[in-house]
Structure formats: C-alpha cells, structure tokens
Structure 1
C-alpha cells in the first residue's frame, strides 16, 4: 500500500532543495499554514555540516508557506505514491516575510527594478548537466542525443507536464554533457522553474538508473557545467526594450546601462553566482564560460553576452550572464543581477565597447575601451571582493549576507579535508 505525498521545499544558500513532506489529504490546510522550518537550516553547507558560527544558532522557528503556482508533479518510484512538489516562501510564525528568505529577496529586487525604471523583465535559465550511464559520443551529435533515450524524451514530457515549457534539449560540448532551456518567464517564476528543473532532471535520471549532476566541474581540468541567465527588458505594455540598432552592440540605453551595472560589480557578484570552491576551475579563458569581466557581442567568453535579434525581431534580443553555475541559489543569483542592473540604469551608466574578437588579441587601447578585468581566480578571492563592495552588500539583508559568507568560509575549510571534492560535489548537485 502506498500514499501520495506533498513536499513543501525551499532552495538554500548552496542551492540544495530541502523541505518537509506530508500526506496529500493535508494539503488544503498546509497551503495556508505551511510547514515548520528552522532558521539554522539556511546555514547548511554543501558538505552537510551547518556553518558555525551562523546568525541563528539553535534558536527560532519558521514556516515554509507553499506557493500554489509552483506545483510540480513527480512520478512514483518503484510502485510508490506520486509526489507533488511546491516551492515556498520562508516566513515567520506570524506569517510575516523572513528577512533571510532568498525568494522574497528576489521578489523585492524585481519590485524595486520596476519602480525605478518603469520596465519589466523576462528571464530564462540555460542549464547544463552531466548524464552518466552511456559511452561518450561526439559533441552535439545525434548519437549523443539518442544515447540519452528514453531519458531525454521522458524529461521533455515531464517538464511540460509540470508547466515548465521546455524550449531546447540537446547534447553539449563536454563528455556526456547535456543542456536544457525553458521559455522566458517573469523573474521569480523563472528562478522557481530553474530550481524545479534541476529536481526533475535528477529524478527522471534516477528512475532510468542514471545520475544527472549539475556540478560546475565533474572532474578537475575537464569541461564544466554552467548556468547562463538570459534577461530581456520590456516596456510596461510588453514592447521589447532591449534592442536599439543605433546603440552599442545593438543595445538600448537601459539595456546597456543594465549590463554596465553588472560589469561595475563583477568581482563581488561572482561570489553569489559561482558559489563553490570548484566553480573557479571553469571561470577562466578558453573554457567557453566566462574568461573575464567584459561585454561581448555574440561572444561566448564574455561575462555579459549580447544576444542579437534573430531575423531582425527585436523581441529575441537579450543579455546573457555567463559567470554562473548550479551551486548558486537561483533566487539570490537573479536578485544580485537585477540589483546591479537597476543601479546601472539609475546611474545612467554607459556600457563599455563590446568585444567581438579574441580577448588575447586586444590591443592595450582595445582592452581599455572594453574595460576588461579578470574575474576572481578562486572562491576566497571572490569572497574578498564581496566583502569590499559596500554597494553590493547594501542590496541584501545583513543576516542573509552574513549567513552566506559563513557557509562559504565553512565550505572552504571542509574542502581542505575532503578527499575528492569534485566527486563529493558531483553527488550533491
């Protein structure tokens, strides 16, 4: 005998989805009351230990209040019951927003962006992962695509059934690497869908006897898995507002300022968007990820890439942030980018000259015009940049930022004594 279950979950600061589960019969009550949660859960590291010290200690209680719009159905495993998964806001026991809720932090960033700019945003997450269980085939090949069957077609159907609107499914460049993208959505929905997609990918893989991992570096020195965040600007009536053929790289003034805001705080932002000790193995030149802090026109080593319109359709133009991976919480990651973009627009920032060729071939004048800067070489470097950037720090609740930094410094210490960090994190992600 089995029973259908409901899980109410949140994504923590190491981008692990955690929550509590109950019988489906209790759902109507739990949609209002939520489920119990503990503040210190936010201080869990990717290695399983709680960061110490952290802002919460052992005190306090919270509720995870599910958002009905996030419901995703997960098929039974081995004849078990079905599982309905909901993402939640973290709230106090009085139902008030908790200052350390990353989902609320993103919602506030979107609200402030719209108020400051009069614009709206559409966002899409492009996510790569490694799929074990078959021999390697050539990159982007039909054989690579078919080797993933029946996982691939089941995944596309599962995503569609969950309301996630898959757009692309393909074998990628790396060994047994695949990519899946979803259609653009408003920011909070897009980040929710990024979280749900990872859970569904891993679940479908497990049901087919495989392991899917979004780890940024499956093996040291190999090809990494990234998360690329595509952002489009819209007028309030939905008219595209990213493209202007007379602007630098074809960007409108607000889109250029949005990109400039990100690049102005690139060093600190990376700590929030590529958040693990192994993330920095892929953030370097010639890794097809992000080889430096610069704006690129159709350039796949840029931190911010200008994706030009297709067939002159202005609505297809967007900005792509490439210095991210799945160890970063999607809500926090996107909140950071939106805050930076808001600051850029509010400050009337002018974007640097877009790079179109190889960075290594730029002249001294070209590098200056591009305002090229290297990215942090390691997580400690990125955390130092975050600690020094008072503007970025001001975008986040102090306790949330303190907890994030405590988690990351604890992970650095734990990594020192972990035998195979790459394999441990491949299992986690």
Structure 2
C-alpha cells in the first residue's frame, strides 16, 4: 500500500529541489515495448505524488513502439487507472536539463496494490527471491548509441572518425566532456566512454550495482545522453539498427552473483574458475536464451543487428572471453578476478525494458541453480565457421532470427512464464506478436527508419 504512509523525506526533498532551482520532476518508467514513458509534476506537487501517485492508464502495457495499441487477455481498452509512485531514493537533479529533476516510478493499482505488470516491481521481486536463497546479484548495462546531426529524420553521422579512433573523441570533445560532467553531477559512476565501431557510435559503461538500481542507472544514462546531445544540436539513437546492413547498437548485460560476499564467478573448481552455483546459473540462462531473446531483443530491428560474425552473440553458446558467443565469461585481469569476474550477455539491445530484462535473467539463473544444470564445453572462435553437424555435435543453436520465433520460444518457456506471471507474460507476448505483424512486410531499410528515433 502507498497512500497510508508519508514518504520519508518528501518535504525535505521538495525543499532541496526548490533551492536547486528545480521547477518540475520527470516521473519515468519503461513500457513493454521498451519505450520510456513519462509524466511530470511541478516540484510543489512532488510530496503528494510520492504519497498518492500520479494517474496513468494501464493500456500503456500493450502500447507498441509506434504508439498503436494491441491487447492481451488481461489488458487493453480504455478502462482503469494506475498510480505512478516516484522512488525518492533515486530522485536526481538533471544536470543537462536545467530546472528539472528525475525519478523512476513503481506502479500500483488505485487501491494501493502492486500492479502485476509493473516491470520495476518484477525486477525487485526476482532480486528478493534470489536474496531469500542467499544470493546477491549485481548488474550493469553497456549503453551504445549513434550520434546524428539534428534537424533530419535521416541519420547523418555527427562525426567522421574511425572506430575507436582518437579523431572521433576530438571532433566531439565538448559533447563528451559535457556528458561526463552531467553524469558525474548526477551521481552515476562511469567506468569508461569511448568511440565504438559503427558510424558516430559511442559506448559508455557504468559501475555494477543491484539489479533495480542498475536498471534505474540505464534509464538515467540514456536520459542524459539525449539531453546533452540536444544541447549540442545532435540526436542520439539507441535503436538496435540505426541503418540496415550496418553494425547496430547493443545493450550488453553484465551479471554476477555472490553468496556471503563472495563472487561466485571466481575462485571455483568449475570451468575457468566458476563455482558450481555460477555454472548452474549460467547454464540456466543458456538453456532459456531463445526465450529470453523475446525480452532482451524485443524489436523487429533487433534481428537486423543479431547476425553472425558481428560480435552480436547470434549463437546460443558460451565461451571464456569469446566475443562471438552469446554468453561471454569475463574473468578480468589477475589482480581483480575475485571482484570483477562476471557473465556478459551479448545478444541483447537497448530496445529492451531493463527491469524486465534483469528480472528475467535472474529467474533463468535461479532455475538453472534449482535444476543443478551444467555447462557444455566452451566455444572458442566464431561459431559461424562450423558446419551444421559440428554445431549440432557441440549442442550449439542459432538463436531466433525473427521476433516471431523468439516470442514462440517465450510462450513455451514455463520457468519464465511462472516468474513473470500471467498478466506480464500476456502483455509481453501480445506486444511482441503485434510488433512483428505491423512490420512483417517492411524492408530492412524501412524497419530501421521506423524505429531509428524511437529508442
């Protein structure tokens, strides 16, 4: 329930915002299609919003990326209302949007009960389920984006330098400086920022934290990337495929687990130092990876990016520091392995709802631990170079190549369906199927153009 408690520090927070010159607060969540939706309130109304929430229709759970609407058995139509309740512990003054602050929200029914399709609530529930089993997960998402010139719906690269080239950083030096300064002012711990492979593409990595906090960070980073770009006359695209036939934007997930403070991805007797629990968790994710793709690669454009031999992780296999494997075990350098070892999931992108994604990954990991799964031998090199018989012999599968195929895999993945619950499963499947249908006859170029500036 939310209405019978006054949020701790709400009045104090309002005072701090007024003192900082903040006039409005952005209340932010991510819908099933992966689109960030918002409402805003004047600063003076923040305390009331934190007590009673702000209204929002439940139909947004079945919105598509083009703002058309589908329906599931549980959701759809004009009836009902929800309450968006800001998490004041994550209230942040936006350094690149003067006069504004930001907070993620949890969603409740009007009676104050948690909304069963609230993705942030789902991530929290899975984190708590892991904690009840003595496991603490930490996570982070690598954020990749392409910078285009403003004023056009076409993509005109904002710089000309080569991949990873110093010239790109020099050309956009002021932009990169302002981005780092804004994130620092907002308390986001940046690990690194660098030019990436595709035209005018950059990547930013942040420090790992609890899964809900990591998803919050991913939203805040993207809000800031967009805002700084706008102030420089640029546009930022996080779309999986900015241009058809080119390398797209990934959203690689890094995930680790600990028991009693010990990182389970290091110091074990399993392959490359994995403990038995970390191996089982990784095997659980590997087993459910085709279904997880419907959550982590949720756009038709995702499958323009997810192609072999592009370091996108197009095959369901794992490897130690193997960048073509969907699951890459990162052990880190010799001096940091106890703290740095983690699992990187490479087949996902930033069209994914990060809360939904983290919750589903934890559910798959827990299912692997419950079943005591073990990993097959690791992959080295590029799976695309193996024959079909060699792939079959190693138990390596090509991941789904269409959104239809991924949705079908999710519909058959009972461990994920059970974790998500009937309402959230129904919403995800309805949206994925409707997204696939609306772009079924579109060319690759038209798919990329339709989603270029949505994400």
Q: TM-score normalised by the shorter chain: which range applies? A: over 0.9
Superposed displacement of residue 349, structure 1: 0.8
Superposed, 1:28-43 pairs within 5 Å as 28-43=47-62
Aligned partner of residue 279 in structure 2, secondary structure: helix
Which residue number in structure 2 is paired with residue 61 of structure 1?
81
1:324-335 to 2 correspondence within 5 Å? 324-335=348-359
Which whole-Å deviations, capped at 9, do the CAs of 1:50-101 have from their partners, x for residues lacking one?
Answer: 1145623211111001001222322476xxx511111000011122111110
Deviation at 1:381, TM superposition (A): 1.0
Give the corresponding residue for 2:143: 127
Whether 2:167 is the aligned partner of 1:150: answer no
Please give the per-residue CA displacement for 1:402-421, whole angstroms capped at 9, x wherever unaligned: 11222222222322476822
Question: Could you say which residue in structure 1 is the equivalent of 2:42?
Answer: 23
Counting only pairs closer than 5 Å after superposition, residues 23-422 of structure 1 correspond to structure 2 as 23-52=42-71, 55-75=75-95, 82-116=99-133, 118-133=134-149, 134-236=158-260, 238-244=261-267, 246-313=269-336, 314-361=338-385, 367=391, 370-416=394-440, 420-422=446-448
Match of 2:16 in 1: none
* Paired position in structure 2 for 1:424: 450
Q: 1:23/1:241 Cα in 2 relative to 1: closer, same or farther (>3 Å)? A: same
**Distance in structure 2 (CA, Å) of the matches to 1:410 and 1:321:** 26
Change (3 A) 1:395 1:329: same
Aligned-residue offset at 1:390: 2.3
Q: Which moved more, 1:119-128 or 1:351-360?
A: 351-360
Partners of 1:7 and 1:21 within 8 A in 2:
yes
Structure 1 unaligned segments of length 5 or more: list them. none
Moved more, 126-135 or 255-264: 126-135
Q: Find the aligned partners of 2:96 and 2:241 in 1 and give their Cα distance.
A: 31
Pairwise CA RMSD of aligned residues?
A: 2.0
Bigger shift: residues 57-66 or 3-12? 3-12
Is the 2:70–2:76 contact (alpha carbons within 8 Å) kept by the matching residues of 1? no
Unaligned runs of 5+ in 2: 1-20, 150-157
Distance 1:315 1:276 in 2: 34
Task: Give the structure-2-normalised TM-score.
Answer: 0.88
- Is contact 2:327-2:344 (8 Å) kept? yes
Q: Report the CA distance between 1:147 and its aligned residue.
A: 1.8
Pairs aligned (count) = 423
Paired residue for 2:154?
none
- Going from structure 1 to structure 2, the CA distance change for 1:158 and 1:411 (only over 3 Å counts) comes to same
Mapped to 1, the partners of 2:341 and 2:383 lie a distance apart of 23
Find the aligned partners of 2:175 and 2:85 in 1 and give their Cα distance: 32
Which TM-score applies when normalising by structure 1? Answer: 0.94
Task: Provide the rounded CA distance (Å) in 1 between the counterparts of 2:393 and 2:136.
Answer: 30
In 2: Cα distance, 1:338 partner to 1:44 partner: 25
Return the offset for 1:385. Answer: 1.2
Identify if the C-alpha distance between structure 1 residues 183 and 315 changes in structure 2 by more than 3 Å, giving closer, same or farther: same
Deviation at 1:281, TM superposition (A): 1.5
User: Aligned partners of 2:246, 2:364: CA distance in 1, in Å?
Assistant: 31
Q: Which residue in 1 is equivalent to 2:9?
A: none
Distance in 1 separating the partners of 2:442 and 2:382: 37
